[in-house]
Chains A and B, each alone.
Chain A
Amino acid sequence: GAGVSQSPSNKVTEKGKDVELRCDPISGHTALYWYRQSLGQGLEFLIYFQGNSAPDKSGLPSDRFSAERTGGSVSTLTIQRTQQEDSAVYLCASSYPLQGLRTEAFFGQGTRLTVV
């Protein structure tokens, strides 16, 4: 597709359940980011993938959060044993890497996660 695609757009889950959020980046973009935006809050960095390099996981808030990127394209963010404080909008973005090409980041529409 032409833009970053995220699914599902909305997810309601019970406390303690695991959830998986998916991100399809723009074709050709090797850099992929996950951010979290809690209600009324700014964007909180979670994790960054660049090509085959080791991901920057410095923003993951706890070991319940993990992410993978298969084949250098699609990424999945997994939250295990969800808690109510995990309720937020999870945003994915992709861009070309720093070297050479434009590094403008493009965001998906987000996944609104509600933990009840």
Chain B
Amino acid sequence: KQEVTQIPAALSVPEGENLVLNCSFTDSAIYNLQWFRQDPGKGLTSLLLIQSSQREQTSGRLNASLDKSSGRSTLYIAASQPGDSATYLCAVKEGIKAAGNKLTFGGGTRVLVKP
């Protein structure tokens, strides 16, 4: 059974500092990994999608890496801003098999960027 873990559960940094968020998964046979942002009381906003064949994806200040063999992904947010304060979730989609197709989520990292 796939398990996804995000450490730390909460993170507080001063504005301007780079953020490093970690995600680990137990079964490396994934199809892709997706990072989401969730603001309080809101749904999830997709940030980056990394296919299993890729090593990283970049979008603006965001960069996500994937090391499938070790079961890890890292989301980097450069030059953090107070508007980056939110909960960040990673999710893996398993391959085409009987138990697959669903997204398995980590518990999230709650980020606070202090002005």
| Residues in B lying within 8 Å of A, measured CB to CB | 31-32, 34, 36, 41-46, 49, 89, 91, 93, 95-96, 99, 101-108
Contact = CB atoms under 8 A, between A and B. Distances in A.
Size band of the A side of the interface? 20 to 34
Contacts of A35: 103, 105
A103 interface: yes
B103 A98 contact: no
Interface of A: 4, 6, 31, 33, 35, 42-43, 45, 48, 50, 56, 58-59, 91, 93, 98-99, 102-110, 112
A55 to B, nearest CB: 10
A105 B105 CA distance: 12
B98 to A, nearest CB: 9
Contacts of B105: 35, 42-43
A58 B42 CA distance: 26
Given A42-B108, A98-B31, A103-B93, A48 B36 contact: no
B46 A33 contact: no
Given A98-B96, A103-B31, A103-B32, A31 B44 contact: no
B88 to A, nearest CB: 12
Contacts of B41: 112
A43 B59 CA distance: 25
A43 B105 CA distance: 6
Nearest to A106: B46
